[in-house]
């Protein structure tokens, strides 16, 4: 008989079950409280009942546990300092979507050498999330592989569906069952329709294939996620964080019967992939809030201990991104303290010196 399956499959390796991993690395009471409280706070921000600014900030990707813990300790101190006006959630991204090929993240290749020890990666990811949540600092991530939430979602307070996957039916169905608020990014071309359709889909119940806690293939039935929202990250036509773009997005959300809640990604096409320009985007976003815009509920900043990025090699610098370039810690701390001051002082009618960051001022967006 002619072979007709697995013709291009080299090997099939068993993966630890979600239940077994959680038995090895159970959620602590502190971590569970951190997640529970952060999710509730984010939901209140989305509902307009909590007027703090949600800030998702941290490395483009996590590739080293020690540096992740170091960054988290610094961020926890800052989070406590600005907690009156800003809710900080740390970016803890373990999966990276690739346009073609490249390092797919710590879960897929924890040793950064092409060995793809996924069992090791998924265990290390859970350890890192536990450690950070145990500090009292909530975590955010991008949900990419539809299997990984069963292993990690109990430790995630906010999740993104990226620009490359927002159009995916699989990810829309997946988001409908996630237990945390989910932000959908606009498409890579900057268009909103893909994200708006994704939000509409994820608000609804779905049935789809997945795995259960024992790791067995299962039919997953969901009730829909009421806390989906829009993330603006710019596109091939330029940034979309300016006041006109924000008003257009809010109008589109309202026309679609969707919540007018927008989170602005300060990096990617909004900064022209120049991490230092994230400050301009953040300042402009705050000015819009101070000017009365109530649709902006948060921002996202890519930041690391040291700025820039580096290729994967045998001798890598500590605390430097191996994916997108990031803002360094000193400037991250400074701009968020400034944001806290501006938002707090607004009660006394004191605002930032206006900075109108137009598309022309930000320069050409890298295609």
What pLDDT, in 10s, does the model give residues 242-259? 999 999 999 999 999 999
In a domain, 358, yes or no: no
- Residues 27-62 have pLDDT tens digits of 999 999 999 999 999 999 999 999 999 999 999 999
- Could you tell me the pLDDT band of residue 98, with boundaries at 50, 70 and 90? confident
Q: Residues near 123 by Cβ (< 8 Å), separated by ≥ 6? A: 16, 21, 24, 25
pLDDT at residue 357 above 70? Answer: no
Share of the chain above pLDDT 90, in %: 92
Beta bridge partners of 145: none
In a domain, 365, yes or no: no
Q: What value does the mean pLDDT take over residues 232-246?
A: 95
Maximum pairwise Cα distance, the chain? 81
In a domain, 2, yes or no: no
Question: Is the model more confident about 233 or about 360?
Answer: 233
pLDDT at residue 355 above 60? Answer: no
Give Cα separations from 133 to 40, 139, 141, 241 (angstroms): 15, 7, 13, 31
Q: What is the pLDDT, as a whole number, of residue 137?
A: 98
In a domain, 359, yes or no: no
- Residues 121-159 have pLDDT tens digits of 999 999 999 999 999 999 999 999 999 999 999 999 999
The rounded distance, in Å, linking the Cα atoms of 336 and 338 is 5
- Residues 187-233 have pLDDT tens digits of 999 999 999 999 999 999 999 999 999 999 999 999 999 999 999 99
What is the domain-level CATH number for residue 329? 3.20.20.70
In terms of Cβ atoms closer than 10 Å to its own Cβ (0-12, 13-18, 19+), residue 197 is middle
pLDDT at residue 352 above 80? Answer: no
Q: What value does the mean pLDDT take over residues 317-323?
A: 97
Q: Please name which of 123, 172, 111 lies closest in space to residue 146, comparing C-alpha atoms.
A: 172
Domain span including residue 78? 18-348
The rounded distance, in Å, linking the Cα atoms of 253 and 347 is 29
In a domain, 134, yes or no: yes
- Could you tell me the pLDDT band of residue 101, with boundaries at 50, 70 and 90? confident
Assigned token pair, 38: 């952060």
pTM above 0.85, yes or no: yes
Q: How many domains does the chain have?
A: 1
For 366, the 3-state DSSP assignment is coil
Q: Please name which of 21, 60, 56 lies closest in space to residue 38, comparing C-alpha atoms.
A: 56
In a domain, 157, yes or no: yes
Mean pLDDT, the chain, rounded, equals 93
Q: What is the DSSP string of 92-118?
A: -------SSSS---TTT-TTSSS---H
Q: Residues near 240 by Cβ (< 8 Å), separated by ≥ 6? A: 186, 190, 232, 233, 234, 249, 269, 270
Burial 239-255 (b: 16+ CB within 10 A, else e): bbbbeebbeebbebbee
């Amino acid at each position: 008989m002619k072979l007709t399956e697995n013709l291009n499959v080299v090997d099939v390796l068993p993966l630890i079950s979600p239940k077994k991993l959680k038995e090895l690395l159970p959620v602590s009471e502190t971590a569970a409280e951190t997640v529970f409280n952060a999710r509730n706070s984010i939901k209140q921000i989305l509902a307009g009942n909590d007027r703090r600014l949600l800030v998702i900030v941290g490395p483009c990707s996590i590739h080293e546990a020690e540096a992740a813990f170091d960054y988290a300790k610094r961020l926890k101190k800052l989070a406590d300092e600005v907690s009156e006006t800003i809710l900080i959630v740390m970016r803890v991204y373990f999966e990276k979507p690739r346009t073609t090929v490249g390092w797919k993240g710590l879960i897929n290749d924890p040793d950064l050498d092409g060995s793809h020890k996924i069992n090791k990666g998924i265990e290390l990811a859970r350890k890192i999330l536990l450690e950070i949540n145990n500090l009292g600092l909530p975590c955010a991530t991008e949900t990419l592989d539809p299997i990984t939430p069963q292993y990690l979602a109990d430790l995630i307070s906010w999740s993104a569906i990226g620009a490359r996957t927002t159009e995916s039916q699989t990810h829309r169905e997946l988001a409908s069952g996630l237990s945390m608020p989910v932000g959908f990014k606009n498409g890579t071309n900057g268009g909103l329709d893909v994200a708006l359709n994704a939000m509409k889909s994820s608000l609804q119940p779905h049935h789809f294939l997945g795995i259960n806690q024992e790791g067995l293939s299962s039919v997953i039935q969901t009730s829909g996620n009421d806390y989906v929202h829009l993330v603006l990250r710019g596109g091939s036509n330029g940034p979309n964080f300016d006041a006109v773009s924000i008003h257009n997005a809010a109008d589109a959300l309202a026309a679609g019967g969707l919540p007018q809640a927008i989170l602005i990604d300060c990096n990617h096409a909004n900064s022209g992939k120049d991490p230092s320009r994230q400050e301009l985007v953040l300042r402009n976003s705050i000015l819009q809030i101070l000017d009365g815009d109530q649709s902006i509920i948060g921002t996202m900043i890519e930041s690391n201990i040291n700025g820039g990025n580096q290729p994967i090699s045998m001798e890598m610098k500590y605390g430097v991104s191996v994916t997108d370039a990031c803002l360094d810690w000193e400037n991250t701390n400074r701009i968020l303290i400034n944001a806290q001051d501006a938002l707090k002082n607004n009660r006394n009618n004191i605002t930032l010196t206006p900075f109108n960051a137009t598309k022309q001022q930000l320069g050409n967006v890298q295609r």
